[in-house]
Structure 1
Amino acid sequence: MARPTLPSPPAVPAVLRRPRVPGLGSTATRVVAVLVVVALAAGVYAFWPKHGETTLTAQFTRAVGLYPGSDVRILGVAVGKVTMVVPAGDRVDVTFQVDDTVPVPASAEAAIVAPSLVSDRYVQLLPAWTTGPRIADGATIPLDRTAVPVELDRISQSLDDLLVALGPNGANKEGSLSRLLQTSAANLGGQGQNLHDTTHDLSLALQTLSGGRDDFFATVKNLQSFTTLLARNDQQVRDLNANLATVSQQLEGERGDLGSALANLATALTEISTFVQDNRTVLKSDLAQLTRTTSTIVKNRDALAETLEDAPVALSNLQNAYHPETGTLDTRNNTPQLTDPRLLLCGVLSHLPQGGAACTQLFDLLKTLPILGQLPIPGIGLPSAVPSALTTAAPTTSPTAVPAGDALVHVRGADPTLGGLLGGDR
């Protein structure tokens, strides 16, 4: 089959043609291109940011199913590989590397995790780093911060050891286990409902305790605060105990008197109870009256307060007014007109329009009355001018002592003064 004929390329102008260099051809061009590519790759490799690895070692009691190349994970995500598994006496040192872009806390723990019974195992680091210091390169995680899974053969061995210990060559060598089972069966026979109720009640009690755990812990906290307070005041507590001991000794020495007092008190209470029971009606009435009395006192408490405030002054004045020699209360009369009734009458009439003339006529009338001779009046005559007589000072002579020629009359009867109340003689 004839190949198709391709069109020939267009002619290159002479000005664009590059002259050939003798000795150089297409092979030299390829070599230069390869060298340029290699140089670029080397530069990229040299300057490309690299991620290092953090090497750690964890100590385990066992490392079953763990080999170099096993995963190292955080939260189930692979972050590194196990590099060496080296026995070291009673432990196994497992060395692994973790990408340094993944932070690991300085207090990290390590555990060997078995996803299933037959699969490979991996190292789990926990917890995941959030804040705080990071673990240093080359650090070792000790045994107290590592954990290994329980192996199936160890479980089987433990069960075998238990069965041997309980078997005919162990605890049941003399039939002790059989007798225990028989006795337990006999004691528990027919007690299923009781056991169920007991278990149910116990669960309710535990729920109650769980629901009140806040109060319980608060009580414990308050007790702790109380004991701390007692510890801080140890000397005062000791003094209190000593004082209580002294009081107890005194009470112990007077227990006879206390017993007698209590016996008398019991007798008194019995008599009071009997009295109250026998006089219940009278006591009720008395209490009702006492209630009314106290209500009245409450209503007049202001007056009572004033009386109690003024009573001491009044009693003091009364004591100062008492004359012990005469048995009277000495008082001062500020109305001198009462010593002469005529002056009193004229003083009343002087306010009238014709008071002066009326007073003169009254005096003239009084002179004609025979009763004037029996009154303790100092004198009957008046001056010629009534107004001057009204302005004259009243006689200061005592009513009981009158001049000669005038009648002296002593009025007998009850003494209306405070002196008479105190039993004094006039």
Structure 2
Amino acid sequence: MSFFDKKTTFDTVRLGIFIVVTTIATALLAVTIGNITFNTTTKYKAVFTDAVGLNQGDDIRIAGVKVGQVDKIQLYQNTLALVTFSVDSDQVVDTSTHATLRYRNLVGNRYIALTDGVGGGPRLKKNGMIPKEHTTPALDLSVLFNGFKPLFTALTPADVNQFAFEVIKVLQGEGGTIESLLAKTASLTTTLADADQVIGDLITNLTSTLQIVSQRQQNFSQLLVNLQQFITGLSQDITPILGSLGSINSLNTKTAGLLQQTRVPIKADLDKLRTVATTLDDTQSIWVKTLQFMPEKLNSMTRTASYGSWFNFYLCNFDGNVTLPTGTRVPVAYDLNSARCKK
């Protein structure tokens, strides 16, 4: 029994150590993720005209160093935002302190930067409020980037991100100068200006093309549908098409040889054909008249050949004069009233 008691005790101790270590690791993880500090803090409030994008737990910074976090955000006087935040008690927040809402990155994360005002002032009491006059909302990135939109279209995505981040830093006072920003912008715009003529011609030609395409949108859409169907049919018949290429090549070779052999006779035939065409043109009035009377003549010939594969000729009528030895002229006439002689 003593052996089992010792083993049970040992297992219990190991389980207890595992639970303690796991609990400590979980607590450290929770503190890290939740930005939890164990310093003594003091709560303050600040009124902003716009706090969009600011979330509970975002940083409070002084000179770029985190000294607290946002505790609560709520509507204030129907049109303003009231932000409650905690700051380490050893940090001085007075009546001249200015609170600025800034972008931490391009993703949209934000923080509140606290800066000392001119002349200083008495320290704020716990739950003291920084008025609207001493706060600055974040930049409106939509308006800012829309202004740079023509420039961004000529840059790569990586250059756009870098340039946009530097713009935000400069306008928030975190790095660089306006002169540096303008110098970089001037360099980029100069590069674009060098290609101004090419870009202008490209835009003009593209505009004309798009206008024509827009006017014929229905035909263009049908063309795309037919082209898609044609490509689909070709892809389905790819094996027969590839197999026929060899035969087509052989046919081209034989055709080339045939044309080479018959080139002289064909040329002579074309010359004769030209002579025939000239003759037909010169005798146009004759064969046109012949064609016009051809139906009536064919009807007569059909009646004549209606009794077999031969032609029967019947004398239907004739007239004339017979001159006698005495010099007398005697009229002679013959008229057969037969169905064959009737038209």
TM-score by length of 2: 0.34
- Structure scoring higher RCO (CA < 8 A, sep ≥ 6) equals 2
Larger Rg: 1
TM-score by length of 1: 0.29
